[in-house]
Amino acid sequence: MLNVIDYVPGNTVLHRLNPVTKLALAAAIIIATVLADGYAALIGLLLLTLVLGIYAGSGSRLLSLLKVLVPVAVLMLVLQLAFVRRGEVIALFITTDGLVSGTKACLRLLGVALPLVLVLTVTKTTDLANACVEKLHIPYKYAFTFTTALRFVPVFTQEMNAIMEAQTARGVEFDTKNPVKKLLLMLPVCVPLLVTSVGKTDATALAAEQRGFYLRTRESSYRRYPFRARDVVVGVLCILLIAAGAAL
Amino acid sequence: MQPTADPIIEMRHVSFSYGHEDARALDDITLAIEPGAFVGVIGPSGAGKSTLASVLSGAIPHHFTGQLFGETIVDGSDTCEVTLTDISRVVGSVNQDIDAQMVASVVEDELIFGLENFGVDHRHIEKFIEAALDAVGIADLRDREIATLSGGQKQKVAIAAILALAPRVLVLDEPTAALDPVSSRMVFDVLRDLNRDEGITVIVIEQKVALLSEYCDRLVVMNEGRVALDGTPHEVFAHSSELRAIGVDSPRTARISNSLAHRGLCPAGDPCLNVDEAAALIADIVKARAGAPAPVEARALGRATASPHAPAPRPHAKGAEPIVRFSGVTFAYPGGGASVNNLDLTVYPGELVGIVGQNGAGKTTATKLLNGLLKPSSGSVVIAGLDTREVPVSRIARHVATLFQNPDHQLCKNTVLEEVAFGLELAGVSQTDAEARARRVIERFGLPADEAPFSLSRGQRQMVALASVVVCEPAVVVLDEPTSGLDYRECMTVMETVREMAEHGSAVVMVCHDMEVVSDFAERLVVMADGCILARGATAEVFADAALMARARVKPPQVVELSQRLAREVSPAFARISEVAGIVDTTEALAGGGANAAEAPLPSATKADAATDAREA
């Protein structure tokens, strides 16, 4: 089963960048998106993320993520339209100001969500953790927690699917068309999921300790993550990107 | 491998109880493990096997809390006085849940993790990785994503990751619980190589007796926190009646030789652990007692009383309307995976049908098509007159009940009573009625009605799941690996209950890796491979078809293998016997004298007898 955040193997420049640089790139796009105020800039940044994704071979992942995010964005637009009451009325409860701030909020939501996912699809989580420990001096404990959480996402998704299948086969109406009813049915099922996840986390902690987790230091990592020329170039581009975002 | 060497692990009067409980999970255990040994630990659920593994690997006292008495010495140091990390340098452990112990997303990184942590010189890391991958035979998986591996491959990666750390002892807790027979065997092959070539001491907790008896040189049988028996497999399986009282199965060949010994046909105390030994023993008995059997006469006899042991079809399976009908069913997962092609299958009320085949053959897909979780992309599945494509799964569920491999996916209520009644309530039975019916079933199963299902043991949780299937009195029962993770006694209780349901008119379709269970309980088999049905027919006939079994990569049960061998080498009277009692009776008859052989092999044993096989005790 493939997940949105799974690593997509490849050998593009994006793959070969230092994981920390990739994080910086994602951060730069996000900051620029937050700072930018024009439609051109917002759409441009979104397109930049998509183009990078297509270049790195994870375009289809980003698109499938978009499919999930667009309904959320539309919901946000409706809320913005309902709450922002300034400007001229266009139709019903829709005002000009509401439309502008609503559409921008939508674009920002998409622009903030996609870059991080892009980074995760072009970086192995172990590399990300080790590079962060080496370059950013993050304690390994936190890096390990983060990568374990990411690794558990597909495991728990599978578990949840198996539970829902089992419950459906018992006659619980998970196959209902009504989303509210489905959500209500899902709540009691979270109990078995919680029970399994606590057990799994404990087993992971034990297994890690039995493989010398507490001996690990910043120097332990076998792989090294030096900054290269391309990292410097991308770093400079990141600064320019933020500056451009603030200006536009 | 000097048996006289100092033990690498020694437990002296060790007792342990979890938390503040009074009940002791381990009760005064004294055990010494010699370096280079291959030790199997077996016992019923709740016997303290996993607790024993935790003590050996240092997880007790360092990870689990409770009250510990006595001392455990690992390589000269008391486990209470050194850290878990230090113990891990000597003892590598592989736990039950494979997914939970992985730390990386790629195989190579998984191996590097431990090496990095233990501060192995970075110049040597490459060498260690290669050696570990080679030792386990997975060099080709080095760059693979762990998420894309099969269960057996993952288990090997887990072993390799521990092996890279060069431990002197490996402790494995049910490493094959989630694997099919072929993968289980591969894992044990790896363990045997490591034990023989690298001199690594292996301690493995396992339920599969046939594997243990074949690979281990020492068996420890646990019961109620104590060591009940300890010795070589031959020594241990000579006590098969004691084992049965504890709730531990014996290899079928051991049951045969013990029964023969009981009837005075061979000396007691040296059970046969595999088909080779049993075939040799029986050939000797027949030849010694009866002289050389007249081959011509015997062959004529074989033809005249063709297959005296073929089980009679259930009378109630005839003349009824089919309850399940697959016609030309095809299904493919969108992302690839076990698809099925053009399946045709009809099941009648009261039938017990087994589906066998390798992993990935499409067995589970077939069961999901049956309970409606998957809809066929072409062809149709009709259950009790309902086409699964037209009716929602929740309505099909009123006719089809499924028992899944993992009971935890099924349980969601606060008490056993609510849990068992839940299915009935979903089907529209009033709450008072549902609870009354649930209470009757709970009482029959001897389950605690007011306890939370999740506080029960694994085997009991499976019984709760089974009770909630039984209470619904479904027309069709689907079982997906109903016995995995259960001990022998629990397995028999589950299967006897299922057989009773079949006798009361439910149609049962079962997917099961344990061919002994299939051969004991299924009356009809469907053999699958690569998403297609290869063959179908009466259980004994299907198992007897060696070419078919090879094509489906299914290993037939020991008794079938043995009877085929004996029919070829000793007497055709052995042909098509699929039960322990049949082999014993036939051997006795043949040994009793050539003349008697003609009327000897009575098809006396029913399938139920074969399962419990009371004669032997």
State whether residue A10 sits within 8 Å of chain B by CB: no
- In the block, tokens 């606060």 appear at B414
The tens digit of pLDDT for each residue in B433-444 reads 999 999 999 998
The tens digit of pLDDT for each residue in A7-27 reads 888 888 888 889 999 999 999
- Interchain proximity A212–B85, CB inside 8 Å: yes
Based on the fold, state whether residues B363 and B276 are members of the same structural domain: no
What pTM did the predictor assign?
Answer: 0.83
Mutual angle of helices B558-569 and B275-290, in 10-degree steps: 40
Distance of alpha carbon A34 from alpha carbon B398, whole angstroms: 53
Confidence tier at B405 by pLDDT (50, 70, 90): confident
Edge-first strand listing for the sheet containing B340-347: B340-347, B324-331, B378-383, B386-387
Choosing among A202, A206, A221, which should be mutated to test the B contact, i.e. which has the most B CBs within 10 A?
A206
Bridge partners of B510, per DSSP, are: B354, B479
Q: What is the pLDDT of residue B302?
A: 40
Residues B424, B430, B435, B441, CA torsion sign: negative
- Chain A partners of B369 at a C-beta cutoff of 8 Å? none
* Span of A154-163, A205-214, B242-251 with lowest mean pLDDT: A154-163
Choosing among A127, A161, A170, which should be mutated to test the B contact, i.e. which has the most B CBs within 10 A?
A170
In this prediction, residues B509-530 reach a mean pLDDT of 91
**Model confidence at A199: pLDDT above 90:** no
B316 Cβ contact partners less than 8 Å away, ≥ 6 residues apart = B349, B350, B505
Based on the fold, state whether residues B237 and B262 are members of the same structural domain: no
In this prediction, residues B234-246 reach a mean pLDDT of 89
Q: Shortest Cα distance from A227 to chain B (angstroms)?
A: 20
Query: Closest to A211 (Cβ–Cβ): which among B88, B119, B427?
Result: B88
Confidence tier at B290 by pLDDT (50, 70, 90): low
For residues B376 and B314, which has the higher predicted lDDT (pLDDT)? B376
Domain boundary among B551, B576, B601: B551
Based on the fold, state whether residues B282 and B324 are members of the same structural domain: no
**Model confidence at B431: pLDDT above 50:** yes
Question: Alpha helices of B486-571 — where are they, by DSSP H?
Answer: 488-503, 515-521, 539-544, 546-551, 558-569
Total domain count for chain B?
3
Query: Closest to B114 (Cβ–Cβ): which among A1, A167, A212?
Result: A212
The tens digit of pLDDT for each residue in B352-401 reads 999 998 877 888 889 999 989 999 999 999 998 899 999 888 888 889 99
Based on the fold, state whether residues B414 and B302 are members of the same structural domain: no
Distance of alpha carbon A53 from alpha carbon A62, whole angstroms: 7
In angstroms, how far is CA B234 from the centroid of its own chain?
21
The tally of CA atoms less than 13 A away on the side-chain side of residue B364 is 16
For B349, the domain range is 320-551
Q: Does residue B203 fall inside a structural domain?
A: yes
**Model confidence at B589: pLDDT above 60:** yes
- Other C-beta atoms closer than 10 Å to the C-beta of B126 total 12
Query: Closest to A212 (Cβ–Cβ): which among B88, B102, B394?
Result: B88
The tens digit of pLDDT for each residue in B456-515 reads 877 888 889 999 999 999 999 999 888 877 888 888 888 999 999 999 989 999 998 888
Q: What is the pLDDT of residue A31?
A: 92
Taking a contact as any Cβ pair under 8 Å apart, which residues of chain A between 134 and 163 contact chain B?
144, 147-148, 151, 154-155, 159, 162-163
Confidence tier at B319 by pLDDT (50, 70, 90): low
In this prediction, residues A50-70 reach a mean pLDDT of 87
Q: What is the CATH number of the domain that holds B525?
A: 3.40.50.300
- Interchain proximity A192–B122, CB inside 8 Å: no
Based on the fold, state whether residues B501 and B574 are members of the same structural domain: no
The tens digit of pLDDT for each residue in A73-95 reads 888 888 888 887 777 777 777 77
Domain boundary among B246, B271, B299: B246
- Interchain proximity B398–A208, CB inside 8 Å: no
DSSP class of residue B381 equals E
Inter-chain contacts counted by CB atoms under 8 A, chains A and B: 166
Q: Above pLDDT 90, what percent of chain B?
A: 40
**Model confidence at B610: pLDDT above 80:** no
Taking a contact as any Cβ pair under 8 Å apart, which residues of chain A between 179 and 198 contact chain B?
188-189, 191-192, 195-196
Based on the fold, state whether residues B238 and B267 are members of the same structural domain: no
Q: Is the peptide bond before B482 cis (omega within 30 degrees of 0)?
A: no
Structure tokens belonging to residue B439:
């209470």
Q: What is the pLDDT of residue B616?
A: 42
Query: Closest to B113 (Cβ–Cβ): which among A125, A192, A211?
Result: A211
∠ Cα A154 A157 A158 (to 5°): 90
Q: How far is CA B358 from CA B258, B399, B513, B554, B604, in A?
A: 32, 28, 8, 7, 33
Which phi and psi angles does B13 have, rounded to 5°?
50, 50
For residues B51, B57, B62, B68, the Cα torsion angle rounded to the nearest 10 degrees is 50
**Model confidence at B310: pLDDT above 60:** no
Instruction: Provide the pairing of β-strand B324-331 with B378-383.
Output: antiparallel
Based on the fold, state whether residues B196 and B270 are members of the same structural domain: no
Distance of alpha carbon B285 from alpha carbon B290, whole angstroms: 8
Confidence tier at B614 by pLDDT (50, 70, 90): very low
For residues B598 and B218, which has the higher predicted lDDT (pLDDT)? B218
Structure tokens belonging to residue B342:
């053009």
Edge-first strand listing for the sheet containing B169-173: B91-94, B169-173, B201-205, B38-42, B218-223, B226-231
Based on the fold, state whether residues B288 and B350 are members of the same structural domain: no
Q: Where are the domains of chain A?
A: 13-134+224-247, 140-215
Based on the fold, state whether residues B342 and B394 are members of the same structural domain: yes
Based on the fold, state whether residues B431 and B369 are members of the same structural domain: yes
Choosing among A163, A177, A211, which should be mutated to test the B contact, i.e. which has the most B CBs within 10 A?
A211
For residues B148 and B557, which has the higher predicted lDDT (pLDDT)? B557
Q: What is the pLDDT of residue A2?
A: 56
Tell me the residue length of chain A. Answer: 248
Domain boundary among B551, B575, B601: B551
Q: Shortest Cα distance from A117 to chain B (angstroms)?
A: 16
The tally of CA atoms less than 13 A away on the side-chain side of residue B224 is 4
Taking a contact as any Cβ pair under 8 Å apart, which residues of chain A between 79 and 118 contact chain B?
none
Question: Alpha helices of B137-239 — where are they, by DSSP H?
Answer: 151-163, 181-197, 209-215, 233-237
Q: Shortest Cα distance from A150 to chain B (angstroms)?
A: 10
In this prediction, residues B2-7 reach a mean pLDDT of 66
User: Is ipTM > 0.85 here?
Assistant: no
Q: Which residue of A has its CA nearest to B423?
A: A170
